[in-house]
Structure 1
Amino acid sequence: MIRLKATAKAATAQRTDPPGGAALEVRDLTVEIMTHSGPVVAVDGVSFDARSGQTIALLGESGCGKSMTAQAVVGLLDPVASVTGGQIRLGGADTRTMSRAERRKLAGPELSIVFQDALTALNPVYTVGTQLAEPFRIHRRMSAKEARGKAIELMRRVGIPEPETRVDAHPHQFSGGMRQRLLIAMAVALSPRVLLVDEPTTALDVTVQAQIMELLRGLRAEHSMAVVLITHDLALVSEQADQVAVMYAGSIVEQGPVAEVFSAPRHPYTRGLLDSVPVHAERGTTLSSIPGTPPDLHSIPSGCVFQARCPMVRDLCRTTRPALAATGEGRAAACHFSEELSNG
């Protein structure tokens, strides 16, 4: 298991959120994608907060808008996609009103992201030492020698063995788990205020997954980071996150503290996801699943986005889209019959 040693400097540099706010505040975020048949809304009015020292998970099936939301927050949308509405406030400042140069200065010291595919995210041409040293040379104006020393220190902190000799290796010379550690090292090099983590354990075996998540937990505590975890893994959310926002067809359909949402879901989609986990499954028994598939983004229904797959669907669901409304302290759900579900 990985054990991180917090330095005295890190221990005294705990961040605090802006008065009355969070490290990251996303409000009514809307993202459109241009297609041959016209624009489609991939992220529709998404709002959430990420607080220092805590993890919020964006949870849902593939294609629900989780990664698109993360890319919009860090300003890395594909050229065919664009943010068409909402606010993204980092440390109280709205990044959408900033110039490109101002946003670029935030990348690393304030906001960073760990991508899903480490081999694709790392540049195969340059050594890992060169890539790890780059943030220190650009943002801290360090010499090549000083930046190389920082790169070795980062490699050691994330559990890369013999960093002094492997600092000159290329990405393909590392295993999948080691590459993921290197990607995390690059992301946290400048102790960002907010760290977005997109499916960090995909294609890794169970033991390596546990090590990677322990590493992230330690780094979050050391730097008092706000972490946004993008995943479809309910077990990962249960173990790692404080808050959860369940996404479906580009919208948040339920959010709140993980323990409360998972123990008493207020939306049929959340319940369907939880019921599909084979906790007590036995050989020969039928596994539970959510019937059907998510709606085509070109033809989102006018009522509830989940109506075609919902076991509780009524006429009201087909005509009126439910707003994300409070269902208790710190909780919200977008369902006309959330109270009925909670009593069921």
Structure 2
Amino acid sequence: MSNEQAPKPPQALRVDGLSVAIHTPTGTVPVVREVGFSVRSGQTLALLGESGCGKSMTAQAVAGLLDPVAEVTGGEVLLEGRDLLRLPPRERRRLAGPGLGVVFQDALTALNPVHSVGAQLAEPFRIHERLSRRAAREKAVELMERVGIPEPRARARAYPHQFSGGLRQRLLIAMAVALRPTVLLADEPTTALDVTVQAQIMELLAELRRETRMAVVLITHDLAVVAEHADEVAVMYAGSIVESGTVEEVFAAPRHPYTRGLLRSVPADRPRGTRLTSIEGSPPRPADLGSGCAFLPRCPLAGDRCATEAPPLNPTGPGRASACHHWKELTRA
């Protein structure tokens, strides 16, 4: 038997130095700062962090869906080697569907309330594959059946408000994967769903990923979802990635105090009535970041160097990186 390792899947998406700023009445505020990550075909990368850390803004920049007040100020977004940020608008729109699919967190506002779900699911096939109305509708019914919508042929004539939250989320996933995208961006895909439905939605995404070999970028703040469904994780704080690596290695031995704080806040295996561990303080506002480490006011390891020099995201081992001057102390803790 050969001892050679199996070749790695091809790189589907690579983001380098992505920066986003928001224009406000008082000036321009950076909200995403030189973010970089990559994900391979058939794998899932989780962008993990607290609300407001820049996860969704990063996803919107990758997808080309930023609000008018926001703009990309630097970096590259390479989809199978093509920089999306430098494509003409028409060519970038052409990649929406076959190249990049998006699942939003609010299914009711993402679906058009005045069109039947069948018509909305059929639209990508009519635009990208030039199918007839009847053929596109048949494809829509097949998709609805694939994502677990009961009585798909009859319910294709229904409207979004006639579906439960879980079924609407399944419809959004069906729309996002209709053209078998190279990369799927899933932005908090289980928000506001009960625990049972959350598990069903995440399992559906996992099945579709295995079937189509698409790469998935999962935006979430749920540590349990990351542990169960992601291969690699990039932890974000205050608009930057502060740690990255495989989920197994990062969760077993974090090399950034913020990651360690997140993991320690999980109430697993704690006796009832004991006090939960938390990270003291609050994340900084983007406009208030100084020249030092953004995590400085909340960090138990902070020293003089942290106050004046922001730590870059540097390699700490094979496939791992951390933005902390004191990461070696964490490995010895």
Find the partner of 2:176 among 167, 176, 187. 187
- Cα drift, residue 335 of structure 1: 0.3
SS state of the match for residue 271, structure 2? coil
The 8 Å contact of residues 9 and 42 in structure 2, kept in 1 or not, is answered as: no
Find the partner of 1:74 among 63, 67, 70. 63
Find the partner of 2:88 among 94, 99, 102. 99
Alpha-carbon separation, structure 2, partners of 1:264 and 1:283: 26
2:5 maps to none
Does residue 174 in structure 1 map to residue 163 in structure 2?
yes
Alpha-carbon separation, structure 2, partners of 1:268 and 1:340: 10
Find the partner of 1:278 among 267, 270, 276. 267
SS state of the match for residue 203, structure 1? coil
User: Structure 1: 5+ residue runs without aligned partners?
Assistant: 1-14
Does residue 109 in structure 1 map to residue 119 in structure 2?
no
Find the partner of 1:53 among 42, 51, 54. 42
- Cα drift, residue 245 of structure 1: 0.2
Task: Look up the equivalent residue of 2:184 and give its one-letter code.
Answer: L
When residues 16 and 261 of structure 1 are mapped into structure 2, their CA distance, relative to the original with a 3 A threshold, is closer
2:247 maps to 258
SS state of the match for residue 31, structure 2? strand
The 8 Å contact of residues 103 and 186 in structure 2, kept in 1 or not, is answered as: yes
Find the partner of 2:79 among 83, 90, 94. 90
1:10 maps to none
- Cα drift, residue 282 of structure 1: 2.4
SS state of the match for residue 159, structure 1? coil
2:302 maps to 313
Task: Look up the equivalent residue of 2:51 and give its one-letter code.
Answer: S
- Cα drift, residue 206 of structure 1: 1.1
Deviations 1:212-246 (A, max 9, x none): 11100010011100000000000000000000000
- Cα drift, residue 16 of structure 1: 5.8
Alpha-carbon separation, structure 1, partners of 2:84 and 2:9: 19
SS state of the match for residue 127, structure 2? helix
Moved more, 200-209 or 161-170: 200-209
SS state of the match for residue 243, structure 2? strand
Task: Look up the equivalent residue of 1:320 and give its one-letter code.
Answer: E
2:203 maps to 214
- Cα drift, residue 43 of structure 1: 0.4
Deviations 1:21-74 (A, max 9, x none): x11010000000001110111100000001100000000000000000000000
Does residue 239 in structure 1 map to residue 228 in structure 2?
yes
Alpha-carbon separation, structure 2, partners of 1:50 and 1:125: 36
Aligned runs of 1:20-169 on 2, under 5 Å? 22-169=11-158
- Cα drift, residue 302 of structure 1: 1.0
Q: Give the aligned CA root-mean-square deviation in angstroms.
A: 0.9
Alpha-carbon separation, structure 2, partners of 1:194 and 1:124: 27
Task: Look up the equivalent residue of 1:171 and give its one-letter code.
Answer: P
Task: Look up the equivalent residue of 1:333 and give its one-letter code.
Answer: S
SS state of the match for residue 21, structure 2? strand
Alpha-carbon separation, structure 2, partners of 1:301 and 1:217: 40
SS state of the match for residue 23, structure 1? strand
Alpha-carbon separation, structure 2, partners of 1:209 and 1:299: 36
Alpha-carbon separation, structure 2, partners of 1:282 and 1:16: 43
Alpha-carbon separation, structure 2, partners of 1:37 and 1:188: 41
- Cα drift, residue 284 of structure 1: 2.2
Alpha-carbon separation, structure 1, partners of 2:330 and 2:207: 37
1:4 maps to none
Alpha-carbon separation, structure 2, partners of 1:82 and 1:112: 21
Task: Look up the equivalent residue of 1:205 and give its one-letter code.
Answer: D
Does residue 291 in structure 1 map to residue 276 in structure 2?
no
Task: Look up the equivalent residue of 1:328 and give its one-letter code.
Answer: G
User: Structure 2: 5+ residue runs without aligned partners?
Assistant: 1-7
Deviations 1:111-150 (A, max 9, x none): 0100000001001110000000000000000000000000
**Runs of 4+ off more than 4 Å:** none
The 8 Å contact of residues 102 and 185 in structure 2, kept in 1 or not, is answered as: yes
Count of residues in Structure 1 that have an aligned counterpart in Structure 2: 326
- Cα drift, residue 296 of structure 1: 1.1
